[in-house]
Amino acid sequence: MVPLDEHFAVAAADNLIPFSGYLPNGLSEIERKILTLRLSEDLEYVEIAKIMNMTENACRMQYSRARRHCAELLERQKIHEYFFEIVVTKQNVQVLYI
């Protein structure tokens, strides 16, 4: 099982597609920005919190919610049928390659 963030990082590096191209439609601007800063720019939560003008704890919570929402949108759009399967639990999001 590959965590969601590792999947996007590897897929983006292998295919040279901008990270934002992997994010599904339906994410809010805040969700897109937090996912991009964390996964593509590899920034720490404290750095993202400063950029987004929020506390570190709020940043961690927003990131967690954004990952879950991203997985749910991918599931609904059936994108996973072609490349991977998303497993969402209360604790984490997992990507299973098919």
Tens-digit pLDDT profile for residues 27-74:
999 999 999 898 888 899 999 999 999 999 999 999 999 999 988 887
**Sign of the alpha-carbon dihedral angle for 7, 12, 15, 20:** positive
Name the DSSP class of 81.
G
β-partners of residue 85 are 96
The more confident residue out of 52 and 2 is: 52
Cut 0.75: pTM above it? no
The more confident residue out of 80 and 37 is: 37
